[in-house]
Every structure is written in C-alpha cells, then in structure tokens.
Amino acid sequence: MSWGSRLVNKFLSRGGVRAGMVGRDMIVYWENGRKMTIAGEMLSDGVVVYVASIVAWDDSDGELIGEAERRRITENVKTSFESQGTRVELC
C-alpha cells in the first residue's frame, strides 16, 4: 500500500471505523478490529443501508447487539459513507 493510500485510508477510517460496499448489495463495516456484514444496496447516487440487518458481529458466538449499539453502528456507517461523498438512505 502506498503512502498516499495509507493516508486516505486513515482519514476515511476515522478512529478505527469504516464502511464500504462489497458488490451491489453488501456493506462491510469495520470497527476496532471487528467486522460486520450489513445488507445494503448501491444506488446511482448513493447507498441504502438496511438497518434491520445490523444484528451481530461476524465473529459473534450468537450474541446479538442491542438497540443502542445498532443506532451507534448505523450512525458510524452513515458518517463513513458521507465522509467519502456518498449519499446515504436508511431503510
């Protein structure tokens, strides 16, 4: 990874948090070494985040997240995409 790429990645990840699209219908969210796969949809002018799909970390042993954590993660995903210039619709 080049120096410029690392700088951009650090800027976008703001505090160990970042989100990105994988394909047209999946969002991957990273936070402090953990990863969560979230349902989403790529639009011509942004992304849709399906908030109901934010239920557990990928490395979870069946432990579900609570409503407060879901709201925090939703806000982090929204902020991450918006910092990249992407419009976000929550559904």
Residue 1: both structure tokens together: 């990874």
Domain ranges of the chain: 3-90
Separate counts of helices (H) and strands (E) for the chain: 2, 5
Q: What is the pLDDT of residue 15?
A: 60
Does pTM top 0.75 for this prediction? yes
The per-residue pLDDT for range 5-61, each reduced to its tens digit, is: 444 454 444 568 999 999 999 999 999 999 999 999 999 999 999 999 999 999 999
Q: What is the pLDDT of residue 3?
A: 46
Closest CA to 54 of 41, 73, 68: 73
Q: What is the pLDDT of residue 16?
A: 80
Which spans in 1-91 are helix H? Answer: 3-13, 67-83
